[in-house]
A and B are shown apart, each in its own frame.
Chain A
Amino acid sequence: MTAPTRISPPPNNTRRRILGMIAAAPLLLPMMGLSRQSRPAARPILSSGEPLPLVGLGSWITFNVGNDQAARDASAEVMRNFFQAGGRLIDSSPMYGSSQEVIGYGLKKLGRPADLFAADKVWISDGDEGRAQMEASRRHWGIPRFDLMQVHNLLSWQAHLPTLFAMKAGGQLRYVGITTSHGRRHGEMEQIMKAEALDFIQLSYNLYDREAEQRLLPLALERGIAVIVNRPFQQGALLPRLARHPLPPWAAEIDCSSWAQFALKFIISHPAVTCAIPATTRIAHVVENMAAAAGRLPDKAMRARMAAFVDNL
């Protein structure tokens, strides 16, 4: 795989514009007519300025329930509570088994919210088959078009990105992105971020896996690329690890009532992060996750304190 060499300027952005948008982000709540207590805070997608709630909904494992009708209904209830709490972005992939169909089932049952932000991925080696796979995904969701289409795990990104940019130009999707997970291939992702006019990247970032802070998150800010964070709870491994210890009393200063909120607030308070996408099967967890984006968020000093605290556990 050859590293890209073409360096393009940030798409329609200057650093000042980006930083101005981030600074104005708290204003988005009153602009949206939402109360700080009940609705999740939003941050702008840097390439467009469109606000996006800081917490979305992932579907890896949790929504892969096959034809189990009771589990499909339970997934739809998770979606209902997610939307009721002000959520917009749902993320899936053809790699996630029946998750796309289950999301489609939920959207049909609940009625598709007007402000749904549908994010999916193309995951196929053959670039020529990308369009057919994306069309199949769209049918599973039962939506007219995706808002965001990402190249999953950078698989054949050289073949897929031109297709995605052409689809964006043709109005078949609104944003283009690339993804990685588990901290893999950050070097290659960095090169693509420098070379291509991406709207989004998606990567793993959490209290323990903080490698992205070194290069990718600053680069995303610099290039005006929105960031979706996957594996915020290390696929369930992080919270049991933290649950062995009491939540520090100072967590109340940032409106944390649980370790899950502590972990999520750490992620979404990073200025480069646009949205974290925890996946869950439980309504109580959706409500708790969305509440993490509704209260006070840690500042830089508090984030450092949170990281140091967890490192010393």
Chain B
Amino acid sequence: MAEPGLSVSLRQSGPIPLDVAFTCAPGEVLGLVGPSGAGKTTVLRAIAGLYRTRAGRVGVDGAVWFDSETGVYLPPHRRRVGLVFQEHALFPHLSAAANVAVALSDHPRAERHSLAMALLSRVHLEGLETRKPAELSGGQRQRVAIARALARDPQVLLLDEPFSAVDRRTRVHLQAEIVALRKDLAIPMLLVTHDVDEVARLADRLCILDQGRVCLTGRPDEVLAQPAIRALLLGDEAA
């Protein structure tokens, strides 16, 4: 029953109410959109193993990462998941290369440096590998975060509002990176964002979340055309 891709179902009444279920196929970008407090970040954290819901199931490529019925729960370090945090969450005491290398502990020590360098050049950061996060710009830090997430050789890539902390121009560049990456990686990718334009441009499918429930799933152009959805998302942005 090895079903490729990500399948998620999460249910709990509190403290953060959730009732979601969706799938994401390999190579597909699924956007999670919704007003603040809708539970989007919670869903990502639950998939990564940083948050445990009362009930639900998370399966990836046939392997079960979480199943409340059988009591299976893999801690985050046992899941091969790539998570790009909103505020990069880089290790401040390590250089860019060392940051990436942390995620390479599965590989023999001798290979780690060259692999880290390769990943950094993939995100166009050659020459900056010895710099510490404090010495990098916001956009550069996010690239390191992406490289580190990829270094894990993840089965799922999760992006939690990855570009909200950078300026517009950098954001456009980084979005282009994601588009390029998506062609190379054949894994499910989840993108949580506030930015409706961004999700329209990057996502293959959208999941609209409101107060922990999925209201609607579908292609961006279809979903975003609906007036109720636009009101929900843009009304919130205007406010």
Asked whether A and B interact, the reply is: no
Residues of A within 8 A of B (CB): none
